[in-house]
Amino acid sequence: MTDRIRTLTVTVFLDEDYRDDDVQNIVSAIGMIRGVEAATTHVVTGSDMMNRETVRAEIRREVAEALANVLVPEWARAKKAGD
| 83 or 58, which is more confident | 58
- Provide the pLDDT for residue 83: 60
- Provide the pLDDT for residue 34: 87
- Residue 62: pLDDT band with limits 50, 70, 90: very high
* Mean pLDDT, residues 33-38: 86
Task: Give the start-to-end residue ranges of the domains of the chain.
Answer: 20-82
Cβ distance 21 to 41 under 8 Å?
Answer: no
Cβ distance 55 to 63 under 8 Å?
Answer: no
* 26 has pLDDT over 70: yes
**Phi then psi dihedrals of residue 65, to 5 deg:** -65, -45
| 32 or 5, which is more confident | 32
